[in-house]
Amino acid sequence: MMRALVFGLLAVIVGTTSFAQEQDIVVHDPVLQEVDGKYYLFSTGNGISVWRSDDLKNWQAEPAVFSEPPLWAKEQIPSFKGHIWAPDISYYQGRYYLFYSVSAFGKNTSCIGLATNITLDRDDPNFHWEDHGLIIQSFPGVTNWNAIDPNMVLDEGGNPYLVFGSFWGGLQLVKLRQDALAVADTLKHPLKTIASRKKDPALPNPLAIENNPVDAGGNAIEAPFIYRHEGYFYLFASIDYCCKGKESTYKMIVGRSKVAEGPYVDERGVDMARGGGKLLLQGDERWHGVGHNAVVNIKGVDYILFHAYDGNDNGKPKLRLSELSWNKSGWPEIN
């Protein structure tokens, strides 16, 4: 459910690659950006947590993106204390775009903000995060969607879009201005829902389950990430419930489309907006709940990173990085 407020000890556990080494680092909802052989990891935390590595094995903590909570976020979300959720990092038009979420836990009193920088190297004299403030906002009883978990994607023509969402009406897609510094759509009309667990969008959300807030309903889908591969846009999403330790039921699904706006369908042709989605990964006897993934290409190889809950370690959430392969039909598989 929503982004976790309580974090345990996390570790980088890499699959069967040359990166096989474990180092404990505290992260949640990770995204990764490679720049000239250096790796920058951004994650949920006070001010947005940042880590840097030269080899994807040894990580060094860096100062948070924000040393103080953004004033605009405190004004919009009175309960906001600086704990920022689910960042997303992209390189676009000569700058790094860092979208991020602020929210009141368990409600869709939420905002997505944006900060940009021309470099991720803190030693560069040009290093400076410029906060552009509010990009999109959701309101209880007004918007049947939740403005968290952003991910920027470029369509087949290079135009920027933002996909986001958690529970409520599902995952939404909205067009950004060409400079990606604001939403291009007027938001006067319903946004485009590209994924939901509801087979019939006209039906109301079922009641909340598993001790989650009633306001959120039971449409347990969130954490979208769109990745382009060989002519398709692949929409990854997390379904069911995270953040419950060994009781977590998080799992990952995926669908694909020839165009960024969708529809995204699974291997059976079922639209993800109507409950479709190919199961990519689920928990097992050790890993209880796997999800909130990102995909990154490192030196020509695709990798998927996500967090899971270690049943051998009191259900502590741990970050995993594994190679992502593609089968003969073009669907992703995790080694």
Residues forming the active site: 29, 222
Q: 90 has which bridge partners?
A: 97
Helix (H) or strand (E) holding 195: strand 192-195
* Residue 280, CA distances (Å) to 81, 221, 238, 312 in order: 35, 14, 10, 23
- Are residues 192 and 169 in contact, defined by beta-carbon separation less than 8 angstroms? no
- Are residues 98 and 129 in contact, defined by beta-carbon separation less than 8 angstroms? yes
Distance separating alpha carbons of residues 235 and 255, to the nearest angstrom: 5
Q: 14 has which bridge partners?
A: 321
Q: What is the DSSP letter of 274?
A: G
- Structural tokens at position 294: 């990102």
Q: 31 has which bridge partners?
A: 42
Q: 162 has which bridge partners?
A: 152, 174
Buried b (16+ CB within 10 A) or exposed e, 196-218: bbbeeeeeebeebeeebeebbbb
